[in-house]
Amino acid sequence: MTESNESEDFGAEPVPPRAMERMHGWRRLRSMRTAIQLLIAVAIVSLLGSVIPQRSAAPSKVAQFIEEHRFWGEVFDRLGLFQVFTSWWFLALAGFLLFVTGACLIPRTRAALSHARRIKQAPERGRLPDLRFTTEVESELSSDETVTEARRVLGRRRWRSSPVNGANQWIAERGHSRETGSVLFHWSFFLVALAAALTITTKFEGSAVVVEKTSWVEGGRVNFDEYSEGAFARWINPHAGFTVAVEDFDVAYGDDGMPKSYTSRVKILDDGREVLEDEVRVNKPVSYKGVKLYQLGYGWAPVVRVTDGSTVVYDGPLVLGMRGPNGSSAGVIKLPSTASGSVGLELSLFPDFKLVPFRATNPDDPRAREPGALDLISTGDFGERPLVVVTEYRGDLGLDKPQNVYELDKTGLEQVAQKFATFPANANEKLGTSTQLGGGLNVELIDLRRFTVFSVKRDSYGTPVAAAAAAVMMLSLYPALYAYRRRLWFEVVEGGTEGVVLRFGGVAYQRKDIFEEEFLRIETDLTDALRGAGSVAKKATR
Amino acid sequence: MNRTSNAAFVSALVLYFVAAGGYFGFVAWRTRKWKVFATAVLSLGWALHLLSLITRTLAAEHAPWGNMYEFTASLAFVLITAYLFVGQAKFGLTALGGYVAAAAAILMSVGWVIYADPGELQPALRSNWLTFHVFLVMAGASLLLFGAILEVMYLVRRRWEARHPDFADEDTSDGGLVSRLPSADRLDQASYRMIMFAFPIWTLGVIAGAIWGEQAWGRYWGWDPKETMSFIVLMIFAAYLHARATQGWRGRGAAILAIVGGVAILVNFYAVNLWIAGLHSYAGT
Amino acid sequence: MTGETPVSLVSTAGQVTVVNFWASWCGPCRTETPMLAAAARELSSQGVQFIGVNIRDDRAAAAAFEREFDVPFPSIYDREAALAATWKVTAPPSTFVVARDGRVVASIPGPIEKTDLSCMIEYARAGGSID
């Protein structure tokens, strides 16, 4: 085996391999080997979470996986493989790694703290320890002056020195920041764990759909479209109750027609008073009273008025869901009790419509044989040539069963008509702004607006603790890796041409290759100082 | 501007292949002429590569790591920079030049296959933290990869040294490629230094990513496949750093960990982008 | 429906009041509304007042809903569900019973059954305590 000339010590006592086999219990737990094995185990377990689709990241993929592999899907689900990072075995493994880290850290921290106060004495007293690097420098000074001068030179190089008890020897040391850094770095994992625990148990987050020129209240679960909160969120991160008024929503497009940026201009009102006016953009959340609003998405919400004879039965913005490329989207209005019975309306918007020759994706499609069949597509999401297709369905809406608010359950419905309309701003001769349906029903398009989707979050404690952990990590990692602990012993003996000789030796506990150079530099410095300073002193006394 | 960038990129790619040939020539014949030739060609390629990245930045109006082509180009650039200015100039690992130049050239060839014109960045990618994050993970990843490659060579050389105790010295050779590699000790040292240098960069890169995630999505960590892979890379190299200091793991065990870590980096950058969906999936365009 | 400025619920003091949060798009609301409408008619002479709060809805659609079920009691139009949030409603339907002294003595999230409603009203009439 190649013996590396770097021998790191992370605080664990060196143990010969044979003795390692016999180690038991506490010592084994605290050994570096256990740490390595646990790190590898965490990596392997995480790999599962990367390869197998996860509910948190891609819920549809999980559903698809279970659908495709019925038996294994079930087995994986039972084992928690679709939510590896919240499964009990992952948490147990991570917890165990933390426990082992803590078991190592407590004695190391204690040692580091006591060491910070004074240099630990070398066990060898009375003679210089057996060192790899030793040398002698002749001094022109008296023995006391030699010691003072040596300590001064070393102090300038940021070495701490102190006399060895009882002996006429001195010990100097540098690079203690390695151990301090390493201990702090490892403690920061506890901060990370604390941050994660705080975030999971105290954060609330949800999404809110808000149409332009309307407002939204950060009041509670009822105001959100999707919502989740930690067990203690209601006490630690309560809802702030302010109102967000969305003045308008803008999308800026690049040359390639892709959105370059999108912006919600919002006003925040608290207790009826306007307290803030700002823009929410991707990468630029807006924060008020600890609640943060993030720009998540957007879509179309045409303002529609539906009349049944002379009665208005719908009058307002209708939020559409994305159905195809370039902003093609659709939404529904359910009218269970018009004068002519129960009606379902489906409104499909093509923001920049175009008629193109029909191209069948399925050869059995009857329209494929129809000459001159046309297809309606959208060429962009700009809303410059919008067209709404209103499809009228009659029959049973199925409202007695639980159903999706954004879709029609078409099992009991029959399509009876399909009409086109556009908005006043884009009206032309061919396309009116309203369309007459059966039974005296009329659909009128008033305005084309957008809606914006905010992700709303309050995590007043988890995020700052995570930030603190990150700061500690970054500040401590460099010293933990690069600083290295080394010691020098020196004594003054009689001899040489001048009568006084400084004998010293040194050892590095890490990065020995660098220490060799450093030792030589120190020797040069000491030689210069003990000779140069001496001659200056002599001149002065002369 | 973009045409200049592409021309410079292809020239650099060709020059790297030529330089790789030159370095192998040096390994085979051990004459100064070969070394001077290879270093000159590689340096010229490096300068053109730099020019390519600068002009690309000007053309795209964002840092040259907005899509996979740009990312690969920058990755190879960091690799060559690390070799030229640290590997060769500081450690004198000239015998490795051929491998590094060839690796960079192959990476760039892959990059050229997935070439995409400079485009507008998606709104989510317009962030200073993102620029910082991607720069750090790219630099960290290429240096960790370099370290992993050195560890592969270390293992090969170590085996060879065990079988040929007579040739263990660097200046002797039995004529094979392995005998011309630096000694196992030096490879071990170099890879350790490289990984020790790269590990904090990668860590900071992951942290910058978390900060960006907090700003863009409202959560600093979400176990998205890319985040998970980055975490795995962190764990493996953390295990490596501990293994370096542990009896029974030092040497072979540590080297294998670093190599596994290198593979994880490649999987993270290519496989995750192309096949696994997640919030980072736009990185695949 | 009553105006957009919420009717102060304080005006209900002195009477047992049933507060029902609903929306026209909410399926379970369709199930419980006929029962609530009948109960409101039956109990109005006995000093029990019903108030609806329509949340996160289109106003015209809400009015159509009220016509469809011939709802006799007034509703507050709470488009942003601001009032609902202060009552800690999580989703419609949600029903509260307020005693004469203004204290909320019972709350039922989700669709309410006739027997539960009668029981809660009796309880409120008794002053929110069982003698």
H/E stretch holding A301 reads strand A291-308
**Mean per-residue pLDDT for C112-128?**
87
The mean pLDDT value of chain B amounts to 86
Q: Is the peptide bond before B123 cis (omega within 30 degrees of 0)?
A: no
The half-sphere exposure of A466 on its side-chain side, counting CA atoms within 13 A, is 22
The CATH architecture assigned to B1-121 reads Up-down Bundle (1.20)
Residues A316, A447 share a domain: yes
State which of A63, A80, A107 marks the end of a domain: A107
- The token duo for A415 is 């399509």
Nearest CA in chain B to A8: B245
- State the smallest CA–CA distance between residue B9 and chain A in angstroms: 24
Report the relative pairing of strands A499-508 and A486-495 from DSSP bridges: antiparallel
Distance of CA A148 to the CA centre of its chain: 53
Q: Is the Cβ pair A217, C81 closer than 8 Å?
A: yes
Q: Report pLDDT for A13.
A: 43
Buried b (16+ CB within 10 A) or exposed e, B89-99: eebebbbbbbb
pLDDT 10s digit of each residue in chain A, 542 long?
Answer: 233 333 333 334 444 445 445 556 667 777 788 889 999 999 999 998 888 888 877 788 888 888 888 888 888 888 888 888 989 999 999 999 999 999 889 988 988 888 777 766 654 544 556 667 788 888 888 888 888 888 898 999 889 888 876 667 888 888 888 999 999 999 999 999 999 999 999 999 999 999 999 999 999 999 999 999 999 999 999 999 999 999 999 999 887 777 888 899 999 999 889 999 999 998 899 999 999 999 999 999 999 999 998 999 999 999 999 888 888 999 999 999 888 889 999 999 999 998 888 777 777 777 666 777 788 889 989 999 999 999 999 998 888 777 788 888 888 889 998 999 999 888 877 788 889 998 889 999 999 999 999 999 999 999 999 999 999 999 999 999 999 888 888 888 887 777 788 888 888 888 877 888 888 898 888 888 887 654 444 433 33
| C1 has a pLDDT exceeding 90 | no
| B279 has a pLDDT exceeding 60 | no
- State the smallest CA–CA distance between residue B132 and chain A in angstroms: 14
Q: How far apart are CA B83 and CA B104, in angstroms?
A: 10
**A1 within a domain of the structure (yes/no):** no
Q: How far apart are CA A133 and CA A505, in angstroms?
A: 5
Range of the domain at A212: 198-296+455-474
| Per-residue pLDDT band at B170 (split at 50, 70, 90) | low
Q: Is the Cβ pair C60, A337 closer than 8 Å?
A: no
Q: How far apart are CA A7 and CA A337, in angstroms?
A: 83
**Mean per-residue pLDDT for C37-43?**
93
Q: Which of B10, C85, B201 is nearest to A477 (CA)?
A: B201
Other Cβ atoms closer than 10 A to A472: 17
Question: Which spans in A203-249 are helix H?
Answer: 233-236
- What is the phi-psi region of residue A495: left when phi exceeds 0, alpha when psi lies from -120 to 50, beta otherwise? left
Q: How far apart are CA B237 and CA B147, in angstroms?
A: 11
User: In this structure, what DSSP letter does residue B167 have?
Assistant: G
Q: Report pLDDT for B172.
A: 63
> Is pLDDT larger for residue A314 or for residue B173?
A314
Query: How confident is the model over B15-24, as pLDDT tens digits?
Result: 999 999 999 9
The half-sphere exposure of B20 on its side-chain side, counting CA atoms within 13 A, is 15
H/E stretch holding A434 reads strand A434-436
Q: Report pLDDT for A471.
A: 95
Question: Which spans in chain C are helix H?
Answer: 27-43, 59-69, 82-86, 114-125
**A191 within a domain of the structure (yes/no):** no
Three-state DSSP at B115 gives coil
- A199 contacts on B by Cβ (under 8 Å): 219
Give, in order, the Cα–Cα distances in Å from A127 to each of A49, A275, A490, A505: 58, 75, 10, 11
- State the smallest CA–CA distance between residue A414 and chain C in angstroms: 21
Query: How confident is the model over A189-210, as pLDDT tens digits?
Result: 999 999 999 999 999 999 999 9
Residues A227, A268 share a domain: yes
Angle at B20 between CA B14 and CA B25, to 5 degrees: 130
CATH classification at residue A515? 3.30.310.80
Three-state DSSP at A240 gives coil
**Mean per-residue pLDDT for C11-33?**
87
Amino acid identity at A169:
Q
> At a CB cut-off of 8 Å and minimum separation 6, what does C55 contact?
A222, C21, C22, C23, C78, C79, C81, C83, C84, C89, C92
A4 touches chain C (CB under 8 A): no
Residues A27, A99 share a domain: yes
CATH code given to domain C15-125 = 3.40.30.10
Between the two ends of chain B, the Cα-to-Cα distance in Å is: 21
- State the smallest CA–CA distance between residue A523 and chain B in angstroms: 25
- The token duo for A208 is 């809110």
Q: How far apart are CA A158 and CA A176, in angstroms?
A: 11
Pair A488, A171: CB distance under 8 Å? yes
Pair A447, A140: CB distance under 8 Å? no
Pair A182, B242: CB distance under 8 Å? no
Task: Please name the residue that has the structure tokens 């019973």.
Answer: C97
Give, in order, the Cα–Cα distances in Å from C60 to each of A225, A433, C68: 22, 20, 12
Buried b (16+ CB within 10 A) or exposed e, A273-302: eeeeebebbbbbbbebbebbbbbbebbbbb
| C10 has a pLDDT exceeding 60 | no
Pair A246, A278: CB distance under 8 Å? no
| Per-residue pLDDT band at C128 (split at 50, 70, 90) | low
- Delimit the domains of chain C by residue range: 15-125
Q: Which of A273, A331, A280 is nearest to A302 (CA)?
A: A331
Q: Is the Cβ pair B122, A281 closer than 8 Å?
A: no
Q: How far apart are CA A395 and CA A343, in angstroms?
A: 7
Three-state DSSP at B283 gives helix
Q: Report pLDDT for B281.
A: 46
Chains A and B touch (3+ CB pairs under 8 A): yes
Pair A82, A69: CB distance under 8 Å? no
- State the smallest CA–CA distance between residue A14 and chain B in angstroms: 8
What is the location of CATH 1.20.120 in chain B?
1-121
- A305 contacts on C by Cβ (under 8 Å): 60
Backbone phi and psi for residue A421, each to the nearest 5 degrees, phi listed first: -155, 165
Q: Report pLDDT for A534.
A: 46
Pair B211, B130: CB distance under 8 Å? no
H/E stretch holding B275 reads helix B272-275
Q: How far apart are CA A301 and CA A423, in angstroms?
A: 12
- C60 contacts on A by Cβ (under 8 Å): 305-306, 312-316
| Per-residue pLDDT band at B273 (split at 50, 70, 90) | low
Give, in order, the Cα–Cα distances in Å from B249 to each of A33, A67, B153: 8, 44, 18
Q: Report pLDDT for A292.
A: 95
Q: Is the Cβ pair A220, C90 closer than 8 Å?
A: yes
Of A219, A333, A399, the CB nearest to C81: A219
Q: Which of A266, A241, A242, A261 is nearest to A251 (CA)?
A: A261
Pair C25, A318: CB distance under 8 Å? no
Q: Report pLDDT for A167.
A: 66
Q: Is the peptide bond before A325 cis (omega within 30 degrees of 0)?
A: no
Query: How confident is the model over B114-157, as pLDDT tens digits?
Result: 888 887 777 777 788 888 998 999 899 989 999 999 999 999 99
Query: How confident is the model over C72-111, as pLDDT tens digits?
Result: 999 999 999 999 998 999 999 999 998 888 888 888 999 9
Nearest CA in chain A to B226: A50
Q: How many A×B Cβ pairs under 8 Å?
A: 164
> Is pLDDT larger for residue B273 or for residue A44?
A44
> Is pLDDT larger for residue B191 or for residue A59?
B191
Pair A318, A466: CB distance under 8 Å? no
